[in-house]
Amino acid sequence: MLMQTVYTKPFDGQRPGTSGLRKKVNVFQQPHYLANFVQAVFDSIGDFHGQTLVVGGDGRFYNREAIQIILKMAAANGFGKVLVGQGGILSTPAASCVIRKHQAYGGLILSASHNPAGPDEDFGIKYNIGNGGPAPEQITEAMYARTLDIDHYKIADCDDVDLDQTGSFVLAGMQVEVIDPVSDYAALMQSLFDFDAISKLLASGFSMKFDAMHAVTGPYATAILEGLLGAPAGTVMNGEPKEDFGGGHPDPNLTYAHELVEIMYGDDAPAFGAASDGDGDRNMILGDHFFVTPSDSLAVLAANATLAPGYAGGIAGVARSMPTSAAADRVAASMGLPCFETPTGWKFFGNLMDAGKVTLCGEESFGTGSNHVREKDGLWAVLFWLNILAVRNEPVADILKKHWQQFGRNYYSRHDYEGVDSVAAEAVLEQVRDQFATLPGTMLAGRRISACDDFSYTDPVDGSVSRNQGVRVLFEDGSRMIFRLSGTGTSGATIRLYLESYEADSSKHGLDAQDALADMIVAASRLSGLIDRTGRDKPTVIT
């Protein structure tokens, strides 16, 4: 078998974040572009000779072409074995599961998460290490440095691999196993949740809908919900993964998952609805005419964790990103558990999970997960909810109402101002910072301000410090206003305004969050000069 050394030149801009390298498809289609990056990854991850690599993606346009290049390069670079999902499919949490289960050296996940897919849209690639989580920054920075001086890459000169049949074969001296993308993941879910109880619930006439949004969770949800759990055919909607995600924007929130939202707020709404994103790591949970905020979802899972067999022995602790509401903190406090507040980004949970400090983690950005893998996990959250519903046998709305009665309600909303001028966005945060010295002790929106700061986090495991993670105005009653610039926006800047107001009195738990937070919303925009500085009179997206 011929191993080729191909001479190449560096490309600009191949710096991966912890969610990898994301670019338009036509950037990746340039000759040598992907190969350069893959070689830079292989040159930065240590000695993997004879070891196993996991490869798969969310099925978006260019997934299959990318996998052919990666397999041939893995062979030429000395991997002993590649496990690749059939059809090139592996959801992000499933890839994390397969890496851990098969003690792989690492994995390459091909995805741009919820970003639209297709020839004119986005593609992405990221490397996960042996614990199943995204490569830490020292490694991604080493990859970037390598992309700047790369002058050749190694690739086997052989025919393309048939990705559509499961089975094993040898490619240029390397073992390739095309695996069922669902089975390892499904087995892990069966080890965590009471599938018998969920099957009985589904057989009892309990109705549900899962919206895979034409993306990667289709095969997982169909195999698990309709297959293993016996939900009626049609429970999974938009279940066929498409290379362009059906032209949609597979981000499970009230704006983009509107097809599901209309069903859940329509006549004869099912009892339970859920959706996941392009690569299967995000989730949205709905009841009949009822939206569960991601912050409340984390709190409910924590409070009810022991109802699921995988967590029956109790949980070690909970972690949430700073802008996520403090609903989970109240649960943790009542259970005597530690609760960690981290900066935005799933990567900050990795150390806490590896050190055994936390079991459950969640973010307001529709991410929930546990130490079963090292990524957030959409379908896991759905199964966890189904397990709780099967045991409690109550509507979703009643579970939330009782939860609020017990712990109080953290009214919560996020207002996004997308595509704002970057200078204006910085100025909004700066205007709040300028008042840090004078605000504490004063009244705003009927509440007394207790403190203001720029959120800073010291990782309790490795001592690393992350500063400037969001501008906070904190109130004595537990209410909060947070101003933060998105780290994932694509054009201009996105200002995120997070609003939270704590209400202990259960007679006041029935309000719409926007109404309950109305005075906070007005006060936040006055305080920051948001409207004047951005020229926007209302947010682009409200979640």
The residues assigned a catalytic role are 113
CA dist list (Å): 370 to 95, 257, 292, 301: 15, 24, 19, 10
Q: List b or e across 385-416, with b for residues whose CB sees 16 or more CB atoms inside 10 angstroms.
A: bbbbbbbeeebbeebbbebbeebbbbbbbbbb
Residue from 58, 121, 226, 279 binding Zn ion (CB under 5 A) = 279
Shortest Cβ distance from residue 272 to ligand G6P (Å)? Answer: 24
Residue 413 lies near Zn ion (rule: CB under 5 A): no
Q: Is the dihedral of CA 320, 326, 327, 328 positive or negative?
A: positive
Whole-number minimum distance, CB 348 to ligand G6P, in Å? 8
The residue from 346, 404, 455, 498 that contacts ligand G6P (CB under 6 A) is: 346
Quick check: helix, strand or coil at residue 183?
helix
Number of chain positions touching ligand G6P (CB under 6 A): 12
166 belongs to the binding site for ligand G6P (CB under 6 A): no
Q: Which of 344, 351, 371, 410 binds ligand G6P (CB under 6 A)?
A: 344
Is 332:360 a contact under the CB 8 Å cutoff? Answer: no
486: contact with ligand G6P by CB under 6 A: yes
**Residue 58 binds: one of ligand G6P, Zn ion, none (C-beta under 5 to 8 A by kind):** none
State yes or no: residue 487 binds ligand G6P (CB under 6 A): yes
Is 345 a binding residue for ligand G6P by CB under 6 A? The answer is yes
Residue pair 115/22 in contact by the 8 Å Cβ criterion:
yes
**DSSP state letter for 6:** E
CA distance 102 to 241: 26
Query: Please, what sign has the CA dihedral across residues 164, 170, 173, 177?
Result: positive
Nearer to ligand G6P, 213 or 388 (CB): 213
Q: Residue 245 gets which letter from DSSP?
A: G
Q: Tell me which stretch binds Zn ion (CB under 5 A): 111-119, 317-325, 397-405, 455-463.
A: 111-119
Query: Exactly one of 488, 506, 518, 540 binds ligand G6P (CB under 6 A); which one?
Result: 488
Q: What's the start-to-end Cα distance of the chain, in Å? A: 55
Distance from C-alpha of 161 to C-alpha of 158, rounded to nearest angstrom: 9
| Binder of Zn ion out of 113, 253, 325, 543 (CB under 5 A) | 113
Binds Zn ion (CB under 5 A): choice among 184, 251, 281, 329: 281
Closer CB to ligand G6P, residue 386 or residue 497?
Answer: 497
Choose one: 108-116, 206-214, 359-367, 403-411; the region binding Zn ion (CB under 5 A).
Answer: 108-116
Verify binding: residue 136, ligand G6P, rule CB under 6 A.
Answer: no
Nearer to ligand G6P among residue 307 and residue 493 (C-beta): 493
* Distance in angstroms (rounded) separating the CA atoms of residues 212 and 248: 11
Interface contacts to ligand G6P, rule CB under 6 A: 19, 321, 344-346, 363, 365, 367, 486-488, 496
